Amino acid sequence: MDGVEEIRVFLKKLLALRADRQPFSDQSSLFLSGRLGSVDAVEVVVLLEEKFGIDFTETGFDQVQIDSIDAIQSLIRTANVSK
């Protein structure tokens, strides 16, 4: 499973825990729309730290950075470039 697919599955699991089974695209807003909350953001942060080595103390954190799959991909790209 590649990184993006892993994130997709992970987000789907988080939504399922909230009994949200609506489909979502790579552009769908998940946090600003309220489908996921700050508790879920914490789990996404931990995943990105562990799997992709992103250090938010360096980059700073804003929920919009992980609001959609596209946003997460862009965050990962930026983090890789600055390494």
Partner 1 sequence: MPTTPELSTTPGELSPPSGGRLANFRLIPRIETYSAVVSFAQTLPGKLALLAVFALGLAYNHRPWGPLVFCLALITFLPDRRRILLTVSTLVFTFLVPWSGFSNPLYVATLICLTILLGALLFWSVARWPRSWYGRRAVLLFLSGFAALVVFAAKTPRDAWFGRLLWDFTIMLSTYIWFIGYSLLDAKTASHDAFKLQLGSYRPFWGSTDTPFAKGASYLRRIEARSPEQLAVTRLKGVKLLAWASLISFFSDIYQHYVYGSFRIPTYSQALSLSASHVPPPWYLCWASLIANFFGGIISLSILGHTIIACCRMAGFNALRNTYRPLSSRTVAEFFNRYYFYFKELLVDFFFYPTFLRYFKKHYKLRLVASIFAAACFGNAFYHFSRDLNLVHSVGLARALQGFQVYLFYCFALATAISISQLRRRGPAPSGFIRGQLLPSFCVVFVYCLLDVFGATERNYPLVEHFRFFARLFNLNM
Q: Which is nearer to partner 1, 22 or 83 (CB)?
A: 22
Q: How far is the CB of 5 from partner 1 (least distance, A)?
A: 20
Torsion from C-alpha of 63, 39, 37, 71, nearest 10 degrees: 30
Residue 61 within binding range of partner 1, rule CB under 8 A: yes
Residue 21 within binding range of partner 1, rule CB under 8 A: yes
CA 36 to chain centre: 10
Query: Among candidates 38, 53, 59, 51, which has minimal Cα distance to 7?
Result: 51
Residue 82 within binding range of partner 1, rule CB under 8 A: no
Residue 83 within binding range of partner 1, rule CB under 8 A: no
